[in-house]
Amino acid sequence: MSSINSTFIRPSSFYISGLYNVPHARYYYMFLCFVYAVTVLGNSFIIGIIYLARSLHTAKYIAVFNLALSDLCGSSALIPKLLDMFLFENQYISYEACLANMFFVYVFMTLQSLTLLAMAYDRLIAICFPLRYHAIVTKTAMVLIIGAMWILSLSVITLMVALVTRLTFCRSTTVNSYYCEHGPVYKLACNDNSINSIIGILCTSTLLYIPLFLIALSYVCIGFALQKILHGVEQVKALKTCTSHVILVAMFYLPIIGVYTAGRITSVNTNVRIINTALSQTIPPMLNPIIYTLNTEEVLQSIKVLYKRTKVSSTITTRN
């Protein structure tokens, strides 16, 4: 332990406990290795398609691009370090590295949440105000929205992590989680950590519960609009444009909010919490590009066009 002054004591490192007394836990971590490989390939593919296909250079796909980037970076902030700790038994992490790990995991999780909200806004305007859609949801407007999301995420999470530095750790330095999770870290402190608890609740409410509420509200408005404007087959066609987004929202919010809510209401077994939280943070980034590729006609069409263009280019090169 290294003492900063007579009041504050900072540990040289934390010990990340991970799953406790779970048989064959290594297979679970190996599964996460597979999840990460698919996540990297899938999201890199989506980023590449959106970048290369001019037809996808629209406001909607600026948000999709940001979601894929957030998924890729969020998984990269979490899974490689997790695998290093538990597959190679390197479970000690320095104080500074722990705060950095906490910062990047939460920043990109926040961006995923806010990007899903931006995509809900896009669908709301497209269905409720179709004639004004291209005037309201411009590429410039979406870039400004995405920029504001990045500023908000970086600012809020920087404050949350900075407040951890005011804590003194004079007892245990064992973090009962699979990464430097905010709750398990600040609860180890010996001095007053009430402000950390408050900022944790505010961050969860502002960056998870409120976006989910606004997304739900947007779909209530969409439902009313469809009842007034369209009927029968036309309603089904309009709803199909929202299918991919609804699936993404359900996969991201329901598991993670379920875990956080259960943790507030009652005590949850550490191993159960770790498994549920890990899956809710790693599975959606893996499945998001698959869902968007399979359910979005524009993306499938762009892939076909790029494939044909590549095939023609390779044929011309071979002949020359």
Who has greater pLDDT, 228 or 181?
181
Task: Express as a percent the part of the chain with pLDDT over 70.
Answer: 92
Determine the distance from the C-alpha atom of residue 98 to the mean position of all C-alpha atoms in its chain, rounded to a whole number: 19
Mean pLDDT of 150-179: 92
- Of the pLDDT bands very low, low, confident and very high (cuts 50, 70, 90), residue 317 is low
Q: Kindly provide the b/e burial profile for residues 216-233, where b requires at least 16 CB atoms within 10 angstroms of the residue's own CB.
A: eebbeebeebbeeeeeee
Average pLDDT, the chain: 87
Residue with tokens 């296909």: 53
- Of the pLDDT bands very low, low, confident and very high (cuts 50, 70, 90), residue 139 is very high
> 3-class DSSP state for residue 14?
strand
- Of the pLDDT bands very low, low, confident and very high (cuts 50, 70, 90), residue 313 is low
Q: What are phi and psi of 285, to 5 degrees?
A: -60, -30
Who has greater pLDDT, 222 or 229?
222
Q: What is the pLDDT of residue 160?
A: 95
Q: Going from the N-terminus, what domains does the chain have, and what CATH number goes with each? A: 12-319 (1.20.1070.10)
Q: Which helix (H) or strand (E) holds 68?
A: helix 59-87
Mean pLDDT of 115-132: 91
Would you state the structure tokens that stand for residue 211, as one six-digit string?
A: 């976006």
Contact by Cβ (8 Å): 65, 45: no
Q: What is the pLDDT of residue 305?
A: 85
Q: Cα angle vertex 158, ends 153, 159, to 5°?
A: 105
Q: What is the pLDDT of residue 318?
A: 63
- Distance, in Å, from the CA atom of 278 to the CA atom of 178, rounded to the nearest integer, reads 8
Who has greater pLDDT, 314 or 165?
165
Contact by Cβ (8 Å): 178, 82: yes
Q: At what angle do helices 297-319 and 270-295 cross, to 10 degrees?
A: 60
pLDDT at residue 2 is higher than 60: no
- Distance, in Å, from the CA atom of 32 to the CA atom of 36, rounded to the nearest integer, reads 6
Would you state the structure tokens that stand for residue 274, as one six-digit string?
A: 């770790």
Q: How far apart are the first and last CA of the chain?
A: 68
pLDDT tens digit string along 74-91?
Answer: 999 999 998 888 888 889
Instruction: Find the range with the poorest average confidence among 152-166, 197-211, 285-299.
Output: 285-299
pLDDT at residue 320 is higher than 80: no
pLDDT at residue 270 is higher than 90: no
Q: What is the pLDDT of residue 227?
A: 80
Mean pLDDT of 213-226: 90
Spell out the residues 6+ positions from residue 61 whose beta carbon is closer than 8 angstroms to its own: 50, 298
pLDDT tens digit string along 195-210?
Answer: 999 999 899 888 889 9
pLDDT at residue 234 is higher than 60: yes
Instruction: Find the range with the poorest average confidence among 48-62, 106-120, 242-256.
Output: 242-256
The strand pairing partners of 175, in sequence order, are 16
pLDDT at residue 271 is higher than 90: no
pLDDT at residue 6 is higher than 70: no
Q: Kindly provide the b/e burial profile for residues 172-206, where b requires at least 16 CB atoms within 10 angstroms of the residue's own CB.
A: ebebbbbbbbbbbbbbbbeeebeebeebbeebbee
Q: Strands 174-175, 13-16: parallel, antiparallel or unpaired by DSSP?
A: parallel
Mean pLDDT of 102-115: 95
